[in-house]
């Protein structure tokens, strides 16, 4: 395998994949913008895909999509036009070009569930997404899986991998970690220390390692979660942030009853802290990565969750 087509190549994940893979593959991009990028031979437009102007490649990594809008300001149809319809278009291109050996689609754990049933999320959960982001991703997954089931001969000897990463972080990323860092870096105490939740993250370095291994080996087609090995509580995450900033962690354990009562008042008075936001801040979301490690023949991810998060936080500080 020598050449790749990466959609959404100028985004956070795409940029990091190029850095990790540019010395091993000829890389072409597909995006709505086409600035020059070290390691990318050329970035094509979506019209080029429709007009069959893309050079022959050995694998497609489909990253392009509409990211989850945490402020809920995006119209629902935008998610389906981008996350569902665009994925169908790219997968159809893969299907008709038989020389392409691998198709890797970046979905999300939110395509599975909004809240983890039980203690840990595995790939065999029955999808029950909440909201247009997760729903649009699972519709794309269903389209791919249906094609694999209906036309198995068309995919003989070809790997179709659906990746479900949990929150991806690393230098240059903009997301919820940045928001929490903004609060903690100002010395504002964390008042929810009495809540003992646990969450799993995905270091960009672990992600690029896994994609490299997928490209260089054969894997059974299907759905794979992507996550670091360890889950951290929000309190542990804050301690990681403060240690990276060389500050003392200020975590206050206010009684849970008082916090819950305040959130209910927030529901009535439309305050920043309400029951929905409290639930999101304190819920657990632990994701299993056992399936993908077994498929790749590895016992552990190369980067510890603590180390990956420390690297990310230090990149915030340097800015």
Q: CATH: 3.30.479.30, 3.30.70.20, 3.40.50.2000, 3.40.50.720. Which one for 3-174+200-230+286-303?
A: 3.40.50.720
- Residue 156: both structure tokens together: 């003989």
Helices (H), 117-161: 132-150
d(CA 215, CA 219): 9
Question: Tens of pLDDT along 1-54?
Answer: 799 999 999 999 999 999 999 999 999 999 998 888 999 999 999 999 999 999
Provide the 3-class DSSP secondary structure of residue 313. Answer: helix
- Give pTM, 2 decimals: 0.93
In sequence order, the β-bridge partners of residue 43 are 29
d(CA 25, CA 6): 12
Question: Tens of pLDDT along 294-311?
Answer: 999 999 999 999 999 999
- Residue 289: both structure tokens together: 């990565």
Cβ contact 222:228 at 8 Å: no
Question: Tens of pLDDT along 179-231?
Answer: 889 889 999 999 999 998 999 999 999 999 999 999 999 999 999 999 999 99
Question: Tens of pLDDT along 217-266?
Answer: 999 999 999 999 999 999 999 999 999 999 999 999 999 999 999 999 99
The 8-class DSSP code of residue 159 comes to E
How many degrees, rounded to 5, is the angle at CA 208 between CA 8 and CA 114?
Answer: 70
Distance of CA 158 to the CA centre of its chain: 24
The 3-class secondary structure across 220-283, one letter per residue, is: CCEEEEECCCCEECHHHHHHHHHHHCCCCCCECECCHHHHHHHHHHHHHHCCCCCHHHHHHHHC
d(CA 3, CA 212): 13
- Residue 251: both structure tokens together: 């975590």
Question: Which H/E stretch holds residue 213?
Answer: helix 204-215
Terminal C-alpha separation, the chain: 38
d(CA 200, CA 247): 24
């Amino acid at each position: 395998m020598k050449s790749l087509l990466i959609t959404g190549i100028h985004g956070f994940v795409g940029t990091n994949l190029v850095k990790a893979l540019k010395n091993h593959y000829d890389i072409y991009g597909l995006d709505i913008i086409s600035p020059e990028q070290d390691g990318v031979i050329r970035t094509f437009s979506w019209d080029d895909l429709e007009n069959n102007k893309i050079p022959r490649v050995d694998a497609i990594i489909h990253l392009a999509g509409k990211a989850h809008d945490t402020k809920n300001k995006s119209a629902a149809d935008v998610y389906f036009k981008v996350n569902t319809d665009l994925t169908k278009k790219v997968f159809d291109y893969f299907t008709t070009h038989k020389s392409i050996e691998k198709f890797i689609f970046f979905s999300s754990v939110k395509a599975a569930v909004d809240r983890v049933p039980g203690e840990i999320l595995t790939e065999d959960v029955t999808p029950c997404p909440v909201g247009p982001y997760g729903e649009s991703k699972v519709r794309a997954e269903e389209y791919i899986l249906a094609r694999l089931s209906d036309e198995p001969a068309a995919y003989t000897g070809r790997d179709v991998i659906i990746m479900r990463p949990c929150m991806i972080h690393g230098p240059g990323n903009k997301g919820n970690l940045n928001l929490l860092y903004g609060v903690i870096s100002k010395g504002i105490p964390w008042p929810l220390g009495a809540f003992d939740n646990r969450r799993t993250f995905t270091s960009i370095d672990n992600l690029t390692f896994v994609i490299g291994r997928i490209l260089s080996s054969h894997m059974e087609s299907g759905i794979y979660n992507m996550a670091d090995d360890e889950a951290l509580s929000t309190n542990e995450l804050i301690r990681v942030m403060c240690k990276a900033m060389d500050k003392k962690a200020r975590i206050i354990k206010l009684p849970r009853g008082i916090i819950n009562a305040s959130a209910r008042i927030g529901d009535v008075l439309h305050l920043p802290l309400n029951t929905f936001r409290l639930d999101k801040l304190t819920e657990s979301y632990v994701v299993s990565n056992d399936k993908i490690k077994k498929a790749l023949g590895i016992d552990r991810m190369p980067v510890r969750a603590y180390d990956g998060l420390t690297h990310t936080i230090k990149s915030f500080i340097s800015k």
